[in-house]
């Protein structure tokens, strides 16, 4: 089983590259590029930092996926204007993020039941997974609206059409995540995404086992 320790050199190389890009951008007085790169680096450090604080072990694919997502959305999207160059860039990122947040929502809800598959109907857990992903997507749209109104940015692009398109893509991604969670509970398998769930649960078994002491009380 690969853990974060096995791939620590890879993650350090990615972070070192971003840090070097920040230094070069500052040296060339490319302030906006420096800010975007620094933001990408900071956000990519959030998952492992929170995992360390909460004593979680993150699967390598999760770390790589989050780092690449921040790189694609902030660094490529904003610094290199991929949102304007590629019409599907924003939609793809919204879809992938919805799936990701949905899977995280499933893991959190399943953790509340301490890994007990019979504590709640799989359909109910899947529904909560869908709601978590959609809620996060809606909050992001509110954030985009606020940034546009307060700071005069253009995060919503075409306004209502962009917002509704993002929400529909979020719904599709959320549905994929909820179906994945449902199949994992019912069949203990759900393809590649299901294996990701199983890997996280296996690496953090203490969070998904019924506490014997609690049952005795």
| Predicted confidence (pLDDT) per residue in 89-124, tens digit | 888 888 898 899 889 889 988 888 877 777 788 999
Give residue 171's pLDDT band: very low, low, confident or very high (50, 70, 90). very high
Mean pLDDT, residues 149-164 taken together: 76
120-151 confidence digits (pLDDT tens): 889 998 998 899 889 988 988 888 788 778 86
3-state SS, one letter per residue, for 106-123: HHHHHHHCCCCCCCCCHH
**Residue 2: is its pLDDT beyond 70?**
no
Its pTM stands at: 0.79
The H or E element containing residue 148 is helix 122-151
Nearest CA to 66 among 23, 101, 33, 19? Answer: 101
51-67 confidence digits (pLDDT tens): 888 888 888 888 888 88
> What is the share, in percent, of the chain residues with pLDDT greater than 90?
13
- Residue 51 and residue 140: Cα distance in Å, rounded? 23
Q: Tell me the pLDDT of the chain averaged across its residues.
A: 82
- Residue 101 and residue 57: Cα distance in Å, rounded? 17
């Amino acid at each position: 089983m690969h853990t974060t320790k096995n791939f620590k050199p890879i993650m350090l190389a990615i972070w070192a590259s971003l840090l070097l890009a920040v230094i070069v951008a500052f040296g060339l007085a490319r302030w906006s590029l420096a800010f975007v790169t620094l933001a990408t680096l900071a956000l990519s450090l959030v998952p492992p930092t929170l995992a360390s604080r909460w004593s979680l072990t993150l699967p390598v694919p999760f770390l790589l996926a989050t780092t690449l997502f921040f790189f694609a959305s902030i660094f490529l999207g904003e610094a290199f204007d991929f949102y304007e160059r590629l019409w599907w860039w924003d939609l793809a990122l919204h879809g992938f993020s919805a799936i990701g947040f949905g899977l995280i929502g499933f893991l959190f809800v399943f953790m509340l039941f301490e890994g007990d598959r019979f504590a709640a109907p799989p359909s109910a857990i899947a529904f909560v997974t869908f709601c978590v992903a959609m809620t996060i997507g809606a909050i992001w749209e509110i954030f985009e609206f606020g940034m546009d109104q307060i700071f005069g940015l253009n995060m919503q692009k075409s306004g209502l059409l962009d917002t509704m398109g993002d929400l529909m893509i979020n719904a599709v991604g959320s549905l994929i995540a909820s179906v994945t969670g449902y199949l994992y509970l019912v069949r203990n398998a759900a393809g590649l995404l299901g294996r990701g769930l199983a890997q996280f649960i296996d690496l953090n078994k203490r969070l998904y086992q019924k506490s014997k002491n609690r049952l005795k009380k």
